[in-house]
Amino acid sequence: MSLALLLLAFAAAALWVALPGLAPGRQRVRTARPYGAAGRERPLELEVGFVLPLPAYWRVEWSPATRLGFRGRQVAGLGWGRVRLRLEATLQPRRRGEYELPGARLFVRDFLGIYEREVRLEGPRERLFVYPRIWEQLPPQLALTLLAEGPESPELGLEDAGRYRGTREYRPGDALRRMHWKATARQGRPMVREFAWVRATGVWIYIDVRGGEVYIDHMAELAASLAVRLMDLGLAVGLAWPGFERPPARGLEALRGMLAALARLEPARAGGAPPLPPPGVNLVVFTQDAPPELIEGALAARARAARVHLLAFPEGFFLRPGEKGRPIWGRTDGMARLQERRGLLHAAGVHVHVFRGDEAVRFTRA
């Protein structure tokens, strides 16, 4: 009995001497896709490998990451020689941003519980782009030029008198010149001519980044939702804010680039006027306080843009789908100036939309 205890004590002493010299272990942390929208669950995989020269207890801890919606994980065991682990978990990121995936920590102690040491884990940890939340959003009524490229649009644009589609029943508000008298006589009810709608060359979204974190988060979500919706309709979409410009483009890679940029969007004190868009492009401007230089920039852009929409959010937020709010009263000085100039701006081709904090973002056809 005493010999067994002596051997155990000797082994523990040998491990106590060997622990400080343990070679670093290896880890690899990855997810199925290094990008995705906030609020969506995704799998996480951790691989750990290390070598124990003598029998010892080991413990691998995966620390919680609140913003990534990760609760943490821990696994332990007794090993000797080469140890390999493969653990699986899930993430559910709560906020947009660029994150490094959570890494693991390895602890080793002798089987008598006398001495414990952390062993460094080396190896790659992927980065995760968490895109803003994306929800169904009807884009503003876009004035689409008749010289537009691309196929016809079923929902957006201007009617092209050169693309006759057919006839339909008269609706209140239809112009008298649209009446199709022969079809009216055949059908016995008023019928009008219907023409195809054409798409624009692109839409440029500009974000005024002067505001708090809540405002920036809401604008990132709105811009991402609009971009996805417009690209689904086949439109080229661009994105800009002070210090950043991405010209209108189509395709999955262009969309991913915009969503990644919106994931990193941060508030700033510096402002500026919207960039002058290419001819025929629709410009959509997001702002909280509508400073004078922004309004002047929107008016200057109107000389080249097919249409300019100025979206103002005085409280810096709006109701997301499913949210309920309370009535909000009062207005800021910037909103007062904007309301005073609203009629003049509309006459100049700049359409102003003001959304209070108790309103959802909805558009109707102009």
The reply to whether CATH 2.60.40 applies to domain 21-131 is yes
Spans of all domains in the chain: 21-131, 160-197, 203-354
Amino acid of residue 153: S
The predicted pLDDT at position 185 comes to 93
Block means of pLDDT (10 residues each) for the chain, 366 residues, are: 58 53 70 77 84 82 84 84 85 85 83 74 81 77 51 57 81 85 92 76 88 92 90 86 90 91 89 80 89 88 86 88 75 75 82 85 63
The predicted pLDDT at position 287 comes to 92
The predicted pLDDT at position 162 comes to 64
**CA 336 to centroid of chain Cα atoms:** 31
In sequence order, the 6+-apart residues with CB closer than 8 A to the CB of 304 are 276, 277, 278, 279, 280, 281
* pTM of the predicted structure, to 2 decimals: 0.72
The predicted pLDDT at position 97 comes to 86
The predicted pLDDT at position 170 comes to 92
The predicted pLDDT at position 262 comes to 94
Architecture per CATH, domain 203-354, reads as 3-Layer(aba) Sandwich (3.40)
